[in-house]
Structure 1
């Protein structure tokens, strides 16, 4: 315990989609709070962010606040980051967890529309760029900071069928590497996390609703594609990886794209 003691984190995408289980952003908030971080839990849906903050507060001594921001609006992200600094005087960790695929209208190349492509990229990639734009000057002045972007194994899986999600998440890896190299001299680390097949509301319940198939059927199909134990990962698997990368234990690690995928990468080589 206490691996993030004294650290201030802003988690963008701290709420979650409707459905069973827990999303990545919520699990990260809870895990960071357990380890002593002060957290601003940010989401477009303030009620969902408030729910996450309430769940995290027992482990944080009350130092978890909720805030609303629209990731498609750079000024909105800037206000959220400024709020974290106003509350606690610094910013140690920026965690960008927002992503949309099917719910944003993404589909295969022959059917994708300009509107869906732009919407997915505005949320998945441009939002991360704008959040970093506001966070980096603060971290540079401090001489330290950690930026974690949640990409996806779909960025490197050649069989992934949907155009917008894959390209936006691949772009996020490239941006994270650029962040790492351009800010290493200032003591800022930047890394990406690549979740594989996860049992989260966004990944499973959204697909169930979009296809009209039972959740159990969608989950079983995804489980069968995972090498490790034939079972999807959970939000806690992502949260544990995020905790390591956010902590001083990863103090010499920057510019990586870490798969959390149950061995799926080995099928690519």
Structure 2
């Protein structure tokens, strides 16, 4: 373990994985712990959060698992209080929860729109509402929000609700960054591109004819660097933005996409 995050207490929402492998949140939680942080690993499925906590504990790190529906204000309030009871403070909020549902304005059902907005966008409002007071108590801190390049580009499929929610996350992050800069709270976004994580496989399987290997091959070829990224690529970017190494960076969006959005065609 290193000491980049020594003494820091980090809440990671969406810290479990939606399937076998390493999602962005799971990788981030483990990486924070490897660099000395105490982690509250939060997921809507307790078994997923517990799996992450056990991985961290097995490496000698400090982690407590918690279940919360981040679209519920009461769940989020209790999550924040649980972290303070367990570790005494909160220094970093890492918002990773997200779901993908494909569809444009005609195809998207109202229920799907409301669900995607609640989980991807409203959850960030709720976590910040309940956790920023604890960051202020700690004398400052860092908020890392995981958005997506879908917030700024068309990436091959209609993601109307998902894109809208992630674009809103960028605006929310900038707003909070400016409001709380005098109090020592930084807020930044990460915009992952095509990532080979468990989250993408089910929503996109039908779009690629049900063939996951074909989907991975096609998406790899779209990236200038020749392959999709993974959860660790997002996690290392988050580690930098959460740590004091980025102490003069706030209100920014860090694109992690292998050059995908830099290419015109």
Q: TM-score, normalised by structure 2?
A: 0.95
For residues 145-181 of structure 1, give each alpha carbon's deviation from its aligned partner in whole angstroms, at most 9, with x where no partner exists.
1111100000000355221000000000000001101
SS at match of 1:224: helix
Shift of 1:215: 1.2
- Could you say if the C-alpha distance between residues 57 and 209 of structure 1 is closer, same or farther in structure 2, counting changes exceeding 3 Å? farther
- Structure 2 residue ranges without an equivalent (≥5): none
Q: Comparing 76-85 with 106-115, which one deviates more in the overlay?
A: 106-115
For residues 129-160 of structure 1, give each alpha carbon's deviation from its aligned partner in whole angstroms, at most 9, with x where no partner exists.
10000111111122211111100000000355
Conserved? CA contact 1:36–1:60, under 8 Å: no
Residue 13 of structure 1 aligns with which residue? 14
Shift of 1:211: 5.7
Residue 163 of structure 1 aligns with which residue? 160
Shift of 1:210: 7.0
| Equivalent position to 2:211, from 210, 214, 218 | 214
- Could you say if the C-alpha distance between residues 59 and 209 of structure 1 is closer, same or farther in structure 2, counting changes exceeding 3 Å? farther
Residue 4 of structure 1 aligns with which residue? 5
Distance 1:218 1:95 in 2: 29
- Structure 1 residue ranges without an equivalent (≥5): none
Shift of 1:111: 1.1
SS at match of 1:190: strand
Distance 1:198 1:178 in 2: 27
1:79 aligns to 2:75 (yes or no): no
Aligned residues: 263
Q: TM-score, normalised by structure 1?
A: 0.94
CA RMSD of aligned residues (A): 1.5
Conserved? CA contact 1:38–1:60, under 8 Å: no
